[in-house]
Amino acid sequence: MRHEPTPRLVPPDLLRRAVAKSCLSLFLLSPIGLRASRVLAQAGGMLIDDFAGADLLSRLGTRWRGVSDRVMGGISEGALGRDVIDGRPCLRLTGDVRLENNGGFIQAALDLAPSGTTLDASDYSGLRLVVRGNGERYSVHLRTPDAIRPWQSYRAHFVAGANWQTIELPFETFEPYRLEAQLDVTRLRRIGLVAIGRAFRADLAVAELRFYRSR
């Protein structure tokens, strides 16, 4: 009489680890996983975008979008697209900022995490940008869940000159705008590159954007 071999039971903890490893492998092979791997592999901080792709999908897997004061009745006009300047791929924000109807801004906005979630940037010191422009003053706006109103954000400013330059904005330079809570970098939700506050012609190009870590 032939005896069938007794089935071997896999311990539950080993089974869970095997399933987790399989899921991680599938994620890393997905488009978003590959982007995330490249982000983590970057030296000198966490890369948000270098605009090397042909679309407006960031290295974080979220998409850049253009926003203007027209969402609240203003008449500013802006355009957002990918460009190549001096051989460098970049994001380019152009347009006319107008103050009529309580308006006054155009911006390139990016969610730093999937909808409903946040990004913890507490391991970093601030934001580093490689920019050029038309000599005007621009702003970086950060939003967290504490910024519940559309006009609330944490703001820092810089001037974009005619040549490519690297600018560092430490987190402590971001000031709350129309809110009392201080910036909580463990819960970042969105970043905006903004032309705001006065009537002028905007032309801002950004070739790289990352969180940097001080040495």
Q: Which amino acid is at 19?
A: V
Statement to judge: residues 16 and 112 lie in one domain: no
In this predicted structure, which of 24-28, 45-49, 120-124 has the lowest mean pLDDT?
Answer: 24-28
| Chain centroid, CA 107 distance in Å | 13
- 69/84 same-domain check: yes
For 155-195, write each residue's pLDDT tens digit: 999 999 999 999 999 999 999 999 999 999 999 999 999 99
- Considering only the C-alpha atoms of the chain, give the largest distance between any 2 of them, rounded to a whole number of Å: 94
Model's pTM, two decimal places? 0.79
Burial 3-26 (b: 16+ CB within 10 A, else e): eeeeeeeeeeeeeeeeeeeeeeee
In a domain, 103, yes or no: yes
8 A C-beta contact, residue 95 and residue 76: yes
174 neighbors 141 (Cβ within 8 angstroms): no
32 and 62: one domain? no
H-assigned helices in 30-75: 31-41
* Predicted pLDDT of residue 109: 98
Is the model more confident about 71 or about 198?
198
* Same domain flag for 114 and 189: yes
The span from the CA of 28 to the CA of 20, in Å, is 12
If pLDDT is split at 50, 70 and 90, which confidence band does 97 have? very high
Distance CA(188)–CA(186), nearest Å, equals 6
Same domain? 78 vs 131: yes
Task: Please report where in the chains the tokens 């600018």 appear, as a residue.
Answer: 167
3-state SS assignment for residue 80: strand
Q: Are 111 and 72 in the same domain?
A: yes
Total domains in the chain come to 2
Residue 5 has pLDDT above 90, yes or no: no
| Any domain includes 5 | no
Whether residues 27 and 107 share a domain: the answer is: no
Q: How far does CA 53 lie from the centroid of its chain? A: 15
Residue span of the structural domain in which 14 resides = 10-41
